[in-house]
Chain A
Amino acid sequence: MSKFLECIGVGKIYPGKTEPVEALRGIDFSCGAGDFVCLLGRSGCGKSTLLQMVAGLERPTAGQIVVAGRALDGPSTATSIVFQDHGLFPWMTVQKNVEFNMKARGTKAAERAEIARRFLDMTSLSGFADRYPHELSGGMRQRVGIARALTTDPKALLMDEPFGALDAQTRGKLQDELLQIWAQQRTTVLFVTHSIDEALLLADRILVFTPRPGRIAADIKVDLPRPRAPQSAAFSVLARDLRGLVGADREID
């Protein structure tokens, strides 16, 4: 498996209010291009922090992150990130929002419009190009966020609990759509979640995080056939194993 993304001895210590906080320690893993990897764990175990570091928004205090053969020194053109609170600019239309990442790259206006339209189609948002974010539902806003992330043709799509704020039904739809997009685009996906079922539904590989300090406790390969069948026995067995690894807290599903 070719190493597309590599974390070597990555650690993160925050100064903290009263004393330093060690958010992550000794993170070592790598994944190949096109893999769908979930970072799974309860809140506070550093999985979001790691994602932000892969996105170049934070720097590790120890170790190194290598993306597409280059050590990271800030945000990379090879990655795009999707946030849980969508991060759409309220004063821009959906179209302009989707075009933003390209604009930041210097892509010309006509080309931007064209590409944006393509990804709006892909995320079933064609009719909403001229709407403002406040006119859209939560699920649609996340679609816009995803479309925007895809416009720069990222090698890795980083997703920070993107569906956490949505109701179960919308979440289900978006999970399906995401899998379709992934099947089509074949980007690497790093997906942070605290939901075991979601991880099993989406990922080829699950990294289980435990807190204080954040560490990778387990690296599980998910061999279940796609499309995933949550009712199947194999699914339940894996889910039970994961529950044990993740910890005592009941997960919201």
Chain B
Amino acid sequence: MQLRRAWGLLPLALLLLAWELAVQAKVYPSILLPPPTKVLMVFVEDWQIVLGNALASIGRVTVGITLSFLFAVPLGLMIGRYQLLDTMTDWSIQIFRSIPPIALIPLALLFLGIGDKPAIALIFLAGTWPLLINTIFGVRNIERTLIKVARAARASEFLVMKDIILPAALPAIFTGLRLAVGGGWLTVVTAEMIAVKSGLGYMILNAQLTFRSDLIIAGIIVIGGIGLLADQAVRRVRAHVCRWQEGLTASPE
């Protein structure tokens, strides 16, 4: 990690400082805003609880986003390629992507019951839209000449999809994946409201009910931290898979 990157910690350090000052000045009741040290103790004493819940949430998000990927990318490739499909699906996509997952909890309960299934379903939905839309975008933006080359060479539809459409759309697909992972992770707290017994969202909701603000903040910190790591991971994979992309190496990886 370059030294320059360490500057990214500066806003966080300032936030930490402001937090400590607010606690010292007793600006907020300690029941709602515990001192940083109390939150730190959560990581020391209760780290197993935090870790267990983190793994549970990561598991759900992984399953949900994997399902998103398997559904949205092939569908997106086809919608991008065939104009008729695009005309048929455009309105539906625009309507459904605007619905916030929390509004879908009653329906999820009705169709899928309680526990992991509806939770993963909500995460799946949160991840599907960015992946779908970005994949379509990636296909649409393929240089026209490349398609002409394929047509002139009388390439089969299968070869065009496999060797041209898919690789050309990969950078956009990865952008979609970053957004999907972010969105899915964001949804995990909402998703874990439906009668699950583990996960960071569950931990935070539970902590709210028992007024354990130190756990709430610890949970928030872990959620933010994992979100950052996940994003970095996707970026690295993209940089490797799309290393052929001109100009990609110009941006920090």
A81/B152 contact (C-beta < 8 A), A87-B145, A89-B164 known:
yes
Q: How far is the CB of A132 from chain B (nearest CB, A)?
A: 5
Q: Which of these binds chain A: B77-85, B155-163, B178-186?
A: B155-163
Q: How far is the CB of A141 from chain B (nearest CB, A)?
A: 12
A91/B152 contact (C-beta < 8 A), A85-B145, A103-B159, A132-B244 known:
no
Query: For the complex, is A101 an interface residue (Cβ under 8 Å from B)?
Result: yes
How many A residues have CB within 8 A of the partner chain?
Answer: 27
Q: Which of A91, A104, A133 contacts B154 (CB 8 A)?
A: A104
Q: How far is the CB of B161 from chain A (nearest CB, A)?
A: 13
Q: Which of B155, B242, B244, B246 contacts A104 (CB 8 A)?
A: B155
The A-contacting residues of B in range 139-197, CB under 8 angstroms, are 143, 145-146, 148-156, 159, 163-164, 167-168, 170
Query: For the complex, is A134 an interface residue (Cβ under 8 Å from B)?
Result: yes
The B-contacting residues of A in range 159-199, CB under 8 angstroms, are none
Query: For the complex, is A63 an interface residue (Cβ under 8 Å from B)?
Result: no
Query: For the complex, is A122 an interface residue (Cβ under 8 Å from B)?
Result: no
Query: For the complex, is A119 an interface residue (Cβ under 8 Å from B)?
Result: no
Do B154 and A83 touch across chains, with their CB atoms under 8 A apart?
no
Which residue on B lies nearest to A83, using beta carbons? B145
A83/B245 contact (C-beta < 8 A), A89-B164, A100-B153, A104-B153 known:
no
Do B167 and A55 touch across chains, with their CB atoms under 8 A apart?
no
Q: Which of B151, B159, B168, B247 contacts A91 (CB 8 A)?
A: B168
Chain B residues within 8 Å of A80, by CB: 152-153
Q: Which of B143, B152, B156 contacts A57 (CB 8 A)?
A: B152
Contact code string B93-118 (vs A, CB < 8 Å = 1, else 0): 00000000000000000000000000
Query: For the complex, is A9 an interface residue (Cβ under 8 Å from B)?
Result: no
Chain A residues within 8 Å of B154, by CB: 74-75, 77, 104-105
Report the Cα distance A85→B170, complex, angstroms: 22
Do B159 and A104 touch across chains, with their CB atoms under 8 A apart?
yes
Q: How far is the CB of B59 from chain A (nearest CB, A)?
A: 33
Most chain A Cβ neighbours within 10 Å, of B146, B152, B163 = B152
Report the Cα distance A77→B167, complex, angstroms: 26
Which residue on A lies nearest to B167, using beta carbons? A91
Query: For the complex, is A230 an interface residue (Cβ under 8 Å from B)?
Result: no
Report the Cα distance A217→B247, complex, angstroms: 45
A90/B246 contact (C-beta < 8 A), A75-B153, A104-B150 known:
yes
Q: Which of B152, B155, B168 contacts A56 (CB 8 A)?
A: B152
Which residue on B lies nearest to A97, using beta carbons? B149
Do B152 and A100 touch across chains, with their CB atoms under 8 A apart?
no
Report the Cα distance A132→B168, complex, angstroms: 14
Interfacial residues, chain A to chain B (CB-CB below 8 A): 52, 55-57, 74-75, 77, 79-81, 83, 85-87, 89-92, 100-101, 103-105, 132-134, 152
Interfacial residues, chain B to chain A (CB-CB below 8 A): 143, 145-146, 148-156, 159, 163-164, 167-168, 170, 242, 244-247
Please give 10 more A-B residue pairs, beta carbons under 8 A apart, in addition to A75-B151, A132-B244: A52-B148, A57-B148, A57-B152, A83-B145, A90-B244, A92-B244, A104-B156, A105-B154, A134-B244, A134-B246
Chain A to chain B contacts (Cβ below 8 Å), 9 pairs: A55-B152, A56-B152, A57-B148, A77-B154, A89-B164, A90-B244, A91-B244, A101-B153, A103-B155
